[in-house]
Amino acid sequence: MPLAYFHHRFLPLEEATVSIATHGLNYGTGCFEGIRAYHNREQDKLYIFRLREHYERFARSCQIMRIDPGHSVDEMMERTVQLLAQQNFHEDVYIRPLAFKADPVIKVTLEGIRDEFGVFAVPLGDYLPTSGIHVAVSSWRRLEDNAIPSRAKVTGSYVNTALAVTDAHLAGFDDAIFLTEAGHVAEGSAANFFMVREGMLITPDISENILEGITRQTIMQLAHDLGIPAASRTIDRSELYVADELFLVGTGVQISPITRIDHRMVGDGTIGKITLQLQSLYNQVVRGESDAYRSWLTPID
């Protein structure tokens, strides 16, 4: 039976429940993370990928939202390791930490409300196909940082994601690409965005209302180590239609190549060379198959 850590103890996931009157449920006043642990089959061992970086971003999200998770980054990391160690998973796992305004208060404020923290883990395979997707530029705009802080992973802001991704799915696409109010490319529905033009790897600048993605930062590091020239800058919509390669990155989606966009082929319609190179190294790194990046992994014993 899956377990959760909630109310400062470990308990069955189905018992980790809240009241219908919970502030965070009514007003979206919560912060969360999405972390992956990968199963290395040969070693029959789980490795959590970039656990500290995820909890450090979680702490920054909570700081913006005036939420006190009541645990330090180190404590949350430790509880997460204990949660996995108790469950003996033999497959890839998705870990979901959540902190939220917990009191049953009918008042829209971030002040004077008790906060709670919990974390649970569930088995999860691929979130999007990793073999080539068809995406659409969404008519919904990515949240402005001055409306809902885009670098904070806030529960309520995923209304924006749900609107865009649902419309994309109903229109027959696999995912949506968000533009900013200024019309620049921001990101996917729950993933950061990369493009390759003339051998150069390009991702939207951090000030384009994007989430400060941990996979985005990982990919920039891997590109550097592979000698692939990379930069972050403003990306225009029409560049999407002439780029050589496009792909999405994120903890959930991992590296998801985009082979068609708005009914146009990307490059020759197959997965590009640089995308394949990064995908292959990323898959080795997250599963603990590469010694060079061990410091990014937390093994579960």
Binding site for ligand PMP (CB under 6 A): 34, 187, 190-192, 211, 213-216, 250-252
Annotate the chain with DSSP letters as a single string. Answer: --EEEETTEEEEGGG----TT-HHHHH--EEE--EEEEEETTTTEEEEESHHHHHHHHHHHHHHTT---SS-HHHHHHHHHHHHHTT---S-EEEEEEEEE-S---S--SSS--EEEEEEEEE---SS-SS-EEEEEEEEEPPPTTTS-TTS-BGGGHHHHHHHHHHHHHTT-SEEEEEPTTSBEEEESSSEEEEEETTEEEE--TTTT----HHHHHHHHHHHHHT--EEE---BGGGGGT-SEEEEEETTTEEEEEEEETTEESTTSS--HHHHHHHHHHHHHHTT--GGGGGGEEEE-
Minimum CB distance to ligand PMP smaller for 35 or for 113: 35
Residue 268 CB, shortest distance to ligand PMP, in Å, is 27
Residue 165 CB, shortest distance to ligand PMP, in Å, is 11
Minimum CB distance to ligand PMP smaller for 112 or for 125: 125
Tell me how far apart the alpha carbons of residues 132 and 23 are, in angstroms, rounded to a whole number.
40
Minimum CB distance to ligand PMP smaller for 210 or for 261: 210
Residue 176 CB, shortest distance to ligand PMP, in Å, is 11
Residue 219 CB, shortest distance to ligand PMP, in Å, is 9
Residue 109 CB, shortest distance to ligand PMP, in Å, is 25
Minimum CB distance to ligand PMP smaller for 209 or for 259: 209
Query: Which residues does the annotation mark as catalytic?
Result: 153
**Cβ atoms within 10 Å of 172's Cβ, excluding its own:** 8
Minimum CB distance to ligand PMP smaller for 54 or for 101: 54
